[in-house]
């Protein structure tokens, strides 16, 4: 009996002394809603699914995928787009490998887009809607609402609201050692700034965006309607 009591006492002490390890933080990036055909890591997506950090998304012809990140922030991927999603600190990074995307950011930290060694981010914390398209070395960034910042090895280009930046991406002099704090390894050449206007329906992502309601006090998530091209409405 005494041995059993001693064992019980030892176990009690161990349970109190051993620290409880915190749960591993979720690597989920957000929720995908598919209109058409798309795949994650080569697996065909159902209509709705959760995507995790490190996953690669590919959209097929005549397809659009909406990614909801919470807090009213969303990313829309049109047809024939390939992108990798990652958690980056408290935010999200989208590595655009091919195609285009549109970002709707209502509050907090907007998703960061990287493509071919170039970083695209919002210039502030105000609501912003922007589009990015990459085709080979040709890069286009359209700032519908809110200013954008395009960061390369040798320069940073500010893109005001209502304007589109068109440029050619060229390898940096030393792509393996990008400038400290930038993580970038490419240069921008032939930069042109074109006024498009925030009210234009179709931008550079091949999507028709109706984002007039983005500045409402309590906006709902934008959603995809129609196809070829897909229309994004923000109620």
Q: With 0.75 as the threshold, say if the pTM is over it.
A: yes
Rounded Cα gap, residues 202 and 211, in angstroms: 11
115-125 pLDDT, tens digit per residue, is: 999 999 999 88
Q: Where are the domains of the chain?
A: 29-233
Average pLDDT of the chain to the nearest whole number: 79
Mean per-residue pLDDT, 43-67: 95
DSSP state at residue 7: H
179-201 pLDDT, tens digit per residue, is: 444 445 678 888 888 876 545 55
Mean per-residue pLDDT, 99-109: 86
Chain centroid, CA 104 distance in Å? 10
- Note the pLDDT of residue 155: 87
Chain centroid, CA 14 distance in Å? 45
Tell me if 97 sits within 8 A of 83, measured CB to CB. Answer: yes
- Note the pLDDT of residue 21: 34
How many of the other CB atoms lie within 10 Å of CB of 65?
Answer: 30
Closest by alpha carbon to 145, among 158, 131, 127?
127
Dihedral sign (CA 38, 210, 206, 74):
negative
Q: What is the DSSP string of 161-209?
A: TTEEEEEEEEE-SSTTSPPTTT---EEEEEEEEEE--TT-SB-SSS-EE
Closest by alpha carbon to 134, among 78, 175, 85?
78
Q: Which of 55-64, 153-162, 212-221, 224-233 has the highest mean pLDDT?
A: 55-64
- Note the pLDDT of residue 174: 43
Using the predicted structure, report yes or no on whether residue 7 has a pLDDT greater than 60. Answer: no
DSSP state at residue 72: T
Q: Is it true that domain 29-233 has CATH number 2.60.120.1440?
A: yes
Rounded Cα gap, residues 68 and 232, in angstroms: 13
215-235 pLDDT, tens digit per residue, is: 665 667 788 887 667 888 776
């Amino acid at each position: 009996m005494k041995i059993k009591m001693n064992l019980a006492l030892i176990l009690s002490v161990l349970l109190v002394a051993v620290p409880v390890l915190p749960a591993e933080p979720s690597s989920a990036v957000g929720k995908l809603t598919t209109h058409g055909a798309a795949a994650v890591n080569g697996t065909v997506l159902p209509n709705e699914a959760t995507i995790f950090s490190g996953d690669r998304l590919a959209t097929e012809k005549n397809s659009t995928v909406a990614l909801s990140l919470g807090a009213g922030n969303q990313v829309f991927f049109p047809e024939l787009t390939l992108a990798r999603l990652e958690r980056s600190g408290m935010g999200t990074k989208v590595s655009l490998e091919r195609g285009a995307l549109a970002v709707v950011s209502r509050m907090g930290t907007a998703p960061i887009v990287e493509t071919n060694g170039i970083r695209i981010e919002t210039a502030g914390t105000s609501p912003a809607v922007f589009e990015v398209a990459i085709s080979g070395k040709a890069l286009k960034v359209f700032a519908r609402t809110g200013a954008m910042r395009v960061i390369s090895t040798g320069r940073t280009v500010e893109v005001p609201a209502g304007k589109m930046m068109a440029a050619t991406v060229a390898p940096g002099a030393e792509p393996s050692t990008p400038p400290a704090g930038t993580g970038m390894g490419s240069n921008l050449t032939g930069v042109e700034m074109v006024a498009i206007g925030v009210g234009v329906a179709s931008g550079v992502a091949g999507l028709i965006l109706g984002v007039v309601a983005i500045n409402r006090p309590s906006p709902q998530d934008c959603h995809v309607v129609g196809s070829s091209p897909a229309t994004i409405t923000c109620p």
